Chains A and B, each alone.
Chain A
Amino acid sequence: MGRERLLISNVRHFFRTLTGRLLASALLWSVAALAVGGFILSLVFKSYVLNDVDKRLSLLIDSMTGVAELSPKGLLRFSRPLSDQRFMTPESGQYWQISEEGQPPFRSRSLWDFELKPEVTHRSFSLKFYEAQGPGGQMLRVAERDSILPNSDRVFHFQVGTNMADVRAAIAEFNWLLVSALGLIMLTVTMSLVLQVSYGLRPLRKLGKSLTDIRAGKENRIEGEWPQDLQLLAQEINALMEQNEQLVDRARTHVGNLAHALKTPLSVIQIDVENAVDERDKRIKTQSRLIREHIDHHLKRARIAGGGSGKGLPIKDRLRKIIKAVEVATREKGVTYDLQCPDDCRFDGEKEDFDEVLGNLIDNAGKWATGHVSVVAEKLQDSARRPMMEIRVTDDGPGVPAEDIDTLFERGRRLDERMPGTGLGLAIVRDIVEMYGGEARLAHAPSGGLMAVLKLPAK
């Protein structure tokens, strides 16, 4: 029952596809055309064959009438015998009969003891054809006509019959041949239709795959040659993507501008109330700090790009630069950083996102480290679905208690208020990593410090 329903839904689904629609409509027309053609052919053949039979019968009846004469005694006879031997063989399928009203009929030997019933009881001098029962259960085609023999005024009823079994067999054979030929044609047509549709629609399927690749970040644009009618579509899609990217870029630029525009006046306010003593100034100080945190929070999230970027970002050089930037803050403390990274490792995503994740993590490690931070990146081999990389950032600082290690990635979560920061960094890291379908977790480093382990998509 379930399987049947599945089949029905599959079939229904197939006819909703472009391939299905093209095939169905083409097949419908071919079947209709072949059926009508076949029907007409069969009809024409049948009428031709029947016509032929009738023509033969009419010739026979003519020649029979021609050789029939009355003997001087007034008996009916043939001036010369009819040539067809079949008239002599009983139940041969070829018969004649001549009858006169009130007299026993004069019959061919082939009729044996069978007597043909005249179809028309009244007198008719025109030729009539009809089907009638013959000897041995044969179905006969019969021609009959009344004739007046020359030199007399007596009316004789002439009948010629022929067995239709052969003719019917011929017609049946023809029909069978016709149906098998048409079936063969149908099969060929169907096959060529399937080929044609699948060949014709191949560029469309390729276009679909191209779009999937773009969404997966493997490609940037729809490339390559397309049939003329699809070329236009491909161009339009490319243009649309470009427009989209420009919109996103513009939005990001606006976000950046907004940050700049808001933060400078905010700096002025904060510096003004930096050494606040009265309640009002203290309130302004607190509120402006809140404003800053709100701006940071929303702008950072708005900037997260997600998604792959064409060629991927070579991370070794990028990590080196990030470390250089982080080092500035820990120069006084004398923290050393070391980096292990394969040369050809690429991040499948936006530079801004990578900077944000690693900048925050390495900066965090640097803040807590007593002397050393290590950054180790490696490609992961076992992920069959999608290439991934793992980056571990380890510090030799005090680490965190086991019960806190899972909550550190929560927004605004700060274990220690001694270090500057809004507690936003790690939450941003988690958000970005999740957007890329990666993983971020914290663990205890063997040296006692904290180790951040990242899994990110690689290229």
Chain B
Amino acid sequence: MRVLVVEDDESLAEQIEQSLLDAGYAVDVSNDGEDGHFLGDSEPYDAVILDLGLPVMDGASVLKKWRADGRDMPVLVLTARDTWTDKVEGLDAGADDYLTKPFIVEELLARLRALIRRSAGQSSPQLECGPVLLDTRNGRVTVSGRAIKLTAQEFKLLSYMMHHNGKVVSRTELTEHIYDQDFDRDSNTIEVFVNRVRKKLDTPIIHTVRGLGYRLEWEESAS
């Protein structure tokens, strides 16, 4: 899962970035509205954390421009302005959720998880594919109740696929959603990760769709 953080206060941006990395997200950070708008417009993010009081271009304008251009990733608005008018107008401008400063990181993470889950069409915080269970709340993966240890990259890959359960996910898409923009991408490494995850799960739920990518599916008869 890849998240964009647009926040002009560098200390706060760093804190958020660290918390997101710890929670297993790929994170890009931008410190002003124009740069943030560009990133959100050109990269496929699973969610955006957007501060409203930004230099160069304010958050509300950034949000409106994205929505006008058809960018529909979930956006969590972050603001120090906590009047109801700010809130009402922020959500009216196209935000999906709203968090006022100061906030606690737990709250931010919970809201973000919920946003990503909902936008992927998942209603439960526990993602399921046959015996494989991924709890988005604590990042734990189990197969038939047995805990599986995954590396950060392996977790991101499985998490993205679990969110898009049943859909074909291309290698490029996986690359885009598990690495941040500064990462030296190589889609061949994806294959390596997929194979490692397959081995660790020891359950045939990741299928290769020739020429297109991968699909997560549990076939009862196959077990």
Spell out A's residues near B (CB within 8 Å).
Answer: 256, 259-272, 274, 288, 292, 296, 300, 303, 318, 321-322, 324-325, 328, 331-332, 351-352, 355-356, 358-360
Contact = CB atoms under 8 A, between A and B. Distances in A.
Given A292-B102, A325-B98, A328-B91, A360 B81 contact: no
A263 B102 contact: yes
A266 B102 CA distance: 6
Contacts of A270: 102-104
Interface of B: 9, 11-12, 15, 19, 53, 79-85, 87-92, 96-98, 100-106, 114, 118
B134 to A, nearest CB: 18
Which 6 pairs show the lowest CB-CB distances between chains A and B? A359-B84, A263-B80, A355-B84, A267-B102, A260-B80, A263-B101
A259 B79 CA distance: 10
B85 A268 contact: no
Contacts of B87: 325, 355, 359
Contacts of B88: 318, 321-322, 324-325, 355, 359
A256 B15 contact: no
B104 A271 contact: yes
Contacts of B90: 325
Contacts of B12: 264, 267-268, 271
16 contacts: A256-B81, A259-B80, A260-B79, A266-B102, A267-B9, A269-B102, A274-B106, A292-B102, A322-B88, A324-B88, A328-B97, A352-B85, A356-B84, A356-B85, A358-B84, A360-B84
A272 B15 contact: yes
B81 A259 contact: yes
Contacts of A292: 102
Query: Interface residues of A: mostly helix, strand, loop or mixed?
Result: helix
A274 B22 CA distance: 15
A272 B82 CA distance: 22
A323 to B, nearest CB: 9
Given A266-B102, A328-B98, A352 B83 contact: yes
B103 A267 contact: yes
Nearest to A352: B85
Nearest to B78: A267
Given A325-B91, A332-B114, A264 B101 contact: yes
A188 B98 CA distance: 76
B171 to A, nearest CB: 33
A340 to B, nearest CB: 20
Nearest to A358: B84
A325 B84 contact: yes
A321 to B, nearest CB: 5
B104 A259 contact: no
Contacts of B101: 263-264, 266-267
A356 B81 CA distance: 13
Nearest to B10: A268
B83 A324 contact: no
A136 B88 CA distance: 110
